[in-house]
Structure 1
Amino acid sequence: MRLDKYLCESSDLTRSQARSVLLDGDVTVNGEVIKRGTHEVQEGDEVQWEGETLSLIGLRYLMLNKPAGHECSNRNSQHPPVIDLLDVDKRDRLQTVGRLDVDTTGLILVTDDGKWMHRIISPRNRCDKVYLVTLAEPLPDNVENLFKQGIELEGEAQRGLSASLVRIDERSIRLTIQDGKDFHIKRMFEALGYPVLALHCERIGPVVLDADLQPGESRYLTATEVAGLAHSSDEAGTGD
């Protein structure tokens, strides 16, 4: 890898800033001052900037407890993006794995590994997602059967979305869905005449939102969690 690119990949420096610090003689490779951005950094080389050893950031995988009022998008909008909540280097490279509506809270996965992300969100890999749903009105007694049969949504080619639910109380349920998104959940209940007051994502595949992770806080996924999400997506895809 070129030295100027290495500097950008391992720090917050832009390409023009990397060229500047190189020309200033602030960068060494294996103890030797290198001013050429085209210098090839080899595996095992020690690169230092102003005496601090740099290393490539690598691929990252995080869970974030999304608060209401933030969007899962990096595009300009009237709401701040959830990525801005992360205190990490090069956060502009990160993307959310799927999206939650601006008023939906809870677990959202964040990564810069595009292949891993697409394995989870691919339509053929119906990964379980569990939501806590709070409704404006009490549910009828037969609602479980209605969801098992599938709720047809207008504008979705009359596609029936099925889900399983467990009642918590008369206005709160825990719903598990595979091929739907959070706005589908809201539309499913609205189609039955029960507006959703609050929606909170608790689990994606085998990964459960940490109980002690406060809204706006995040942590890196463990290697087991990263592998488990990819594995659960592979298993889901084999059933098509």
Structure 2
Amino acid sequence: MVSKRGRLDQFIAGTLQIPKKAVRELLINNKVRVDGQFAKSLDLQIDEFTHIECNGVVLRHYQKRYYMLNKPDGVVSATIDDKHPTALGLMTGINTEMLHIAGRLDLHSTGLLLLTNDAKWSEALMAPDHKVDKKYLVTLANPLDQAYVEAFANGMYFEYENITTLPAQLMLLSSHQARVVLREGKYHQIKRMFGRFRNPVVALHRESVGDIVLDHTLLAGEFRALTKAEVDSVFQH
């Protein structure tokens, strides 16, 4: 989702279906408030969260919203899907208008899914140069050993994209389970990295993105709003 920036006069003219000359008259006569202040400039830049009033009537007022969802297996990270239940379909009891997913999970992957209507926030969170740590709990079909740790730390070359993955941290938890920390998110990256060892991933569960950790009180399919500290953490790296 892209932030919807534009000029104030274009927005008012389009919303009220009046010429820009009439918009100028509204501003001259202190009829337009932007974020509580009388607007003076026609070319004032606004976005989807700018509060705009004209003659006391609210023309635009969206609040920024941020949620975490404990995504279950079999739910697709999408707004609409013909075959599977969607993440947004689980967000019952709230207005899901404008919400989008910041960092998708595969159909059978579970765990932390972040949703917001704030494009700048999600772009900062997922931008490749931001390199936010993403932590996953992975269960494998076959036993693990130290060779996996070294291979993940060295990075792996993917011939199809002609890229080498960034060094990734792998911690062995048991014979068939490991915790993986990535700082990027290539297509099916974790499954493909374990695939080098011909070791299928049985379960993939995202535990955290940056400083935002999945709330363990949330059952699969449940969600809650992010705290201010969790929201602000995205811009502290």
Deviations 1:49-101 (A, max 9, x none): xxxxxx95501001100001111112434212101100244313101101100
**1:81, 1:91 → 2: CA distance?**
12
Task: Measure the CA separation in 1 of the matches of 2:125 and 2:81.
Answer: 26
Query: What is the rounded CA distance, in whole Å, between the counterparts of 2:230 and 2:100 in structure 1?
Result: 18
Shift in CA distance, 199/182, structure 1 to aligned 2, threshold 3 Å:
farther
The sequence identity of aligned pairs, in percent, is 37
CA separation of 1:41 and 1:183: change in aligned 2, threshold 3 A: farther
Change (3 A) 1:123 1:97: same
Q: Give the corresponding residue for 2:90.
A: 85
Match of 1:152 among 144, 148, 157: 157
Shift in CA distance, 229/135, structure 1 to aligned 2, threshold 3 Å: same
Matched, 1:119 2:154: no
Equivalent AA in structure 2 for residue 40 of structure 1: C
Task: Tell me how far apart the structure 2 counterparts of residues 89 and 213 of structure 1 sit (CA, whole Å).
Answer: 17
Q: Per the alignment, in what secondary structure is the counterpart of residue 77 of structure 2?
A: coil
SS at match of 1:132: strand
Q: How does 1:13-32 map to 2 (within 5 A)?
A: none
1:147 CA displacement: 0.8
SS across alignment from 2:234: helix
Q: Does 1:196 align with 2:210?
A: no
What is the total number of aligned residue pairs between the two structures? Answer: 187
**Tell me, which stretches of 5 or more residues in structure 2 are unaligned?**
1-10, 16-52
Task: Tell me, yes or no, if the aligned pair for 1:62 and 1:110 is still in contact at 8 Å.
Answer: yes
Aligned positions of 1:51-66 closer than 5 A: 56-66=61-71
CA contact (8 A) 1:67 1:106 kept: yes
- CA distance in 2 between partners of 1:195 and 1:225 (Å): 33
What is the DSSP-based 3-state SS (H/G/I as helix, E as strand, rest coil) of the residue aligned with 2:89? Answer: helix
Is 2:144 the partner of 1:139? yes
Q: Displacement, 1:193? A: 1.4
Matched, 1:40 2:45: no
TM-score normalised by the chain length of structure 2: 0.73
Q: Structure 1 residues 195, 41: closer, same or farther in 2, change over 3 A?
A: farther
Between the aligned partners of 1:100 and 1:171, the Cα distance in structure 2 is: 22
Gap runs ≥5 in structure 1:
6-38, 48-54, 236-240
Alpha-carbon distance in structure 2 between the residues aligned to 1:114 and 1:210: 23
Structure 1 runs, 4 residues or longer, greater than 6 Å off: none
- Out of 72, 76, 82, the residue aligned to residue 77 of structure 2 is 72
Give me the CA root mean square deviation: 2.2
* Secondary structure class of the residue paired with 2:233: helix
